[in-house]
Amino acid sequence: MTCFSSTDESAHYGFSVCMLLDNYREQLAWEDNGVVELGTGDATAIADVVTSLPGLRVHSYDISAPSLEMARVNIAERGVADRYTVELGDFFDQADAAGGPQISTVISNPPYIPAPDRDILMPELWGGVRGNDLVLQLLKAGYENVITAVASYSDPEATVATAADLGYRVVNFLAMGLDFGRYSSEPKVRDHIRRLCADGHGWAGEDGYMVAVVLFTQNPAIPGDRADQLLRSLQIDV
């Protein structure tokens, strides 16, 4: 097993989470309740967010032991171990027991690598055949607010449609173009992405894709729905 490493993607995730949490501070009430995270990785992205937002507490899960080893070092170096706690295990098995229903917000840069099977460079990053299995599972997990990365090549139209069926609206998002990294450049993955996009299940360019970090909410007190804008921002052609 290896540790997830992708500087641009993680930096975009961290910056976007920070901005969305800060902009919707009162409505998300994270100063009262904290947030939970699916997928710690090496923790650098969210450790910096915890440093920037003094009232924030995050409890995070990862299934990768080497990632958590690095995460603990990075969190300790930044001096935020009291507010950024990490645990080895499957988010979906353990989050309820740890947080219960009073935690209303989950954050994640989830695994979204699409591939025919789990036999890829880092199997923990497999997002299912269309790449959006974990995002869909997260949307179905019962959190009122879901801040998650949505990749242009991982069937975003199906993700947004499922979110709407579950009563979520797209409040806001931050989108960025990314070059294919080491995980999406793996030939088996890249070929699969091409096929998915050709079949109308996403968008990707020759060397890159778009990713948006999106705030989905079911909370009627947070107005607006930018679902159409989100999908337009993810469209990138070869």
> Closer to ligand SAM at the Cβ: 104 or 154?
154
| Binding of ligand SAM by 39 (CB under 6 A) | yes
Stretch of 27-35, 62-70, 172-180, 226-234 contacting ligand SAM, by CB under 6 A: 62-70
Contacts of 185 (CB under 8 A, 6+ apart): none
- Which residue's CB is nearer to ligand SAM, number 50 or number 63? 63
Is residue 148 involved in binding ligand SAM (CB under 6 A)?
no
18's tokens: 């920070």
Report if residue 16 touches ligand SAM, rule: CB under 6 A: no
| Site residues (CB under 6 A) for ligand SAM, limited to 116-135 | 124-125
Choice from 17, 18, 21, 41 touching ligand SAM (CB under 6 A)? 41
Hey, how many other C-beta atoms are within 10 angstroms of the C-beta on 160? Answer: 21
Stretch that binds ligand SAM, among 32-40, 196-204, 218-226, 228-236 (CB under 6 A): 32-40
The set of residues, in sequence order, having a beta carbon less than 8 Å from that of 77 and lying 6+ positions away, is none
By CB under 6 A, the residues from 84 to 103 that bind ligand SAM are: 90-92
- Nearer to ligand SAM by Cβ, of 63 and 120: the residue is 63
Residues interacting with ligand SAM, by CB under 6 A?
Answer: 4, 10, 13, 38-41, 45, 61-64, 67, 90-92, 109-111, 124-125
